[in-house]
């Protein structure tokens, strides 16, 4: 029997108020194919955001569907206590791709749990609960990860179990170094890091950073900045954790991992990943040098992390990504899309900046002619794009005034063009 109360009202009545939903009339997605999704009213949308959330390659990718259903039909079990073939296979591939020497991989169920595990490792390895994190960052929603999240809009408690110091350097458009060129910006951020280290008492365990901030509004420092940081960190024995939850798997086009734009002094000690690797199945994970990974001196398991079904999805999805060179696609199609977005935005005074890499593009909206963030404009564009058949994301600091674009990595040129046109109409509808 169907329940006459609208789903949105039922959602509101039973789920927490702080669970974010987009749109005045939230969308109930029913199915997807390729780069498109459909809602319960039969509307079809080009998905310019699901790529970062879950769908790294394509919606309903037959290779992943087959792998999942075959594995589900055989056995779904825990990844602990017994050998698990797809988990070992995915770990081998991820270890080889990670760029971390002597790598070990631990699978979790989310990015939050991956970062939580990275913190467990770093704090244990260094015997310190002091962490360096970047301003404007987002690292998850657990008790430890909210306390290293610099973006206070996403950090709902300040009762931190860690001692966190926030470092400048991830945001170019605002803050004390905004006016500086690349080299000066990097030097100022390194000086800030040294200053913060001077204030920390005793050893610091690790620095955690997203090479290209996701929730924070797709902002990135100059290439090489984290490599310069690494040199300072090395002098103190501090670990570098690269949170690749949004930047991994070739999304940025030029590199397979975000850290590779900062590689002059070697890879990070710990890398975390999640989101799209399972193409919608819940996979997160941590890669670390074995010396760091094996520093825990008692057992630690994740019952569902590495479940055979999610691992089968990961193996199939990663194989597809590599065989079809979706990193190259992100570079080519993303580059064209960025150019097109820059051209469109030049004629729209509300767009202060278009920035991005590969298939990761952000449009920062401000009140025309000022630096004042304009979250209302971002919300209005999101609604107008939806009406035109395009799903976008939002993000950016305290005010969600950055439109975020992160489609599945198989986006075609025609689809990029289609999305850009809808977005242009939506931006032009701003008053
Ligand atoms: N790190 C980053 C950079 C993220 O963007 C997110 C999710 N937005 C997380 C960690 C947390 O991942 P999850 O939502 O899977 O816990």
Range 12-41 average pLDDT? 96
Residues 263-279: tens digit of each pLDDT: 999 999 999 999 999 99
Q: Is the pLDDT of residue 158 over 80?
A: no
SS3 7: helix
CA of 55 to the centre of ligand 1 (A): 14
Q: Residue 201's pLDDT is what?
A: 79
Percent of the chain with pLDDT over 90: 88
Distance CA 95, CA 359 (A): 24
**Residue to probe by mutation, ligand 1, list 136, 142, 246, 248, most atoms within 8 Å of CB:** 246
Residue 186 has pLDDT above 90, yes or no: yes
**Residue 399 in this model has a pLDDT that exceeds 60:** yes
Of 149, 208, 214, the residue with max ligand 1 atoms within 8 A of its CB, to mutate for a pocket test, comes to: 214
Residue 219 pLDDT: 92
Choice from 119, 212, 275 to test ligand 1 binding pocket (greatest atom count within 8 A of CB): 275
Distance 348 CA to ligand 1 centre (A): 31
Task: Report pLDDT digits (tens) over 343-396.
Answer: 999 999 999 999 999 999 999 999 998 889 999 999 999 999 999 999 999 998
- Ligand 1 pocket check for 393: Cβ under 6 Å: no
pLDDT tens digits, residue range 94-106? Answer: 999 999 999 999 9
Q: Once rounded to an integer, what is the mean pLDDT over residues 58-65?
A: 97
Instruction: Tell me the pLDDT of the chain averaged across its residues.
Output: 95
Strands (E), 110-174: 130-134, 163-167
User: Using a 6 Å cutoff on CB, does residue 214 contact ligand 1?
Assistant: yes
> For the purposes of burial, counting CB atoms within 10 Å of the CB of 217, is it exposed (0-12), middle (13-18) or buried (19 or more)?
buried
Query: So what's the pLDDT on residue 79?
Result: 85
Bridge partners (DSSP) of residue 354 are 363
- Kindly give the distance from the C-alpha atom of residue 284 to the centroid of ligand 1, in angstroms, as a whole number: 9
Residue 417 structure tokens:
């063009």
ipTM > 0.90 (yes/no): yes
How far is residue 295's CA from residue 290's CA, in Å, rounded to a whole number? 8
Can you give the length of the chain in residues? 431
- Average pLDDT of 252-267? 98
Determine the pLDDT at residue 398: 65
CA distance 357 to 361: 6
What are the tens digits of pLDDT across the range 282-320? Answer: 999 999 999 999 999 899 999 999 999 999 999 999 999
Q: Is the pLDDT of residue 147 over 60?
A: yes
Token pair 């194989």 in the structure block, residue:
319
Name residue 295's beta-bridge partners: none
């Amino acid at each position: 029997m169907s329940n006459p109360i609208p789903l949105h009202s039922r959602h509101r009545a039973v789920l927490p108020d702080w669970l974010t939903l987009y749109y005045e009339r939230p969308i109930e997605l029913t199915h997807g194919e390729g780069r498109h999704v459909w809602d319960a009213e039969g509307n079809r949308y080009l998905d310019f955001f699901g790529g970062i959330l879950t769908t790294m390659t394509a919606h309903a990718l037959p290779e992943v569907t087959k792998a999942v259903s075959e594995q589900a039909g055989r056995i779904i079990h825990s990844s602990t206590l017994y050998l698990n073939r797809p988990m070992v296979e995915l770990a081998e591939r991820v270890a080889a791709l990670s760029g971390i020497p002597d790598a070990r991989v631990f699978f979790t169920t989310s990015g939050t749990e991956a970062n939580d595990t990275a913190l467990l490792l770093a704090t244990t390895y260094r015997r310190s609960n002091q962490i360096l994190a970047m301003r404007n960052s987002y690292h998850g929603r657990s008790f430890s990860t909210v306390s290293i999240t610099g973006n206070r809009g996403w950090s709902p408690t300040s009762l931190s179990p860690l001692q966190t110091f926030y470092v400048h350097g991830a945001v170019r458009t605002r803050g004390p170094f905004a006016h500086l060129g690349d080299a000066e910006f990097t030097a100022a951020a390194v000086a800030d890091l040294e200053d913060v280290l001077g204030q920390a008492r005793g050893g610091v365990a690790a620095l955690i950073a997203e090479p290209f901030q996701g929730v924070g509004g797709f902002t990135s420092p100059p290439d090489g900045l984290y490599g310069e940081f690494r040199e300072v960190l090395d002098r103190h024995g501090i670990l570098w954790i690269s949170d690749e939850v949004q930047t991994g798997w070739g999304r940025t086009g030029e590199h397979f991992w975000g850290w590779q734009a900062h590689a002059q002094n070697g890879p990070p000690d710990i890398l975390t990943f999640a989101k799209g690797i399972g193409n919608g199945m819940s996979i997160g994970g941590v890669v670390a040098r074995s010396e760091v990974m094996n520093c825990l001196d008692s057992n630690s398991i994740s019952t569902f992390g590495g479940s055979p079904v999610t691992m089968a999805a990961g193996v199939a999805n990663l194989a597809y990504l590599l065989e079809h060179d979706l990193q190259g696609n992100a570079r080519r199609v993303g580059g064209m899309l960025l150019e097109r977005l820059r051209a469109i935005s030049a004629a729209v005074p509300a767009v202060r900046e278009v920035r991005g890499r590969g298939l990761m593009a952000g449009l920062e909206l401000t009140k025309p002619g000022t630096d004042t963030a304009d979250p209302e404009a971002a919300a209005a564009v999101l609604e107008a794009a939806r009406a035109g058949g395009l799903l976008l994301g939002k993000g950016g600091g305290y005010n969600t005034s950055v439109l975020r674009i992160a489609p599945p990595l198989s986006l075609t040129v025609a689809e990029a063009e289609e999305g850009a046109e809808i977005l242009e109409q939506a931006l032009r509808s701003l008053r």
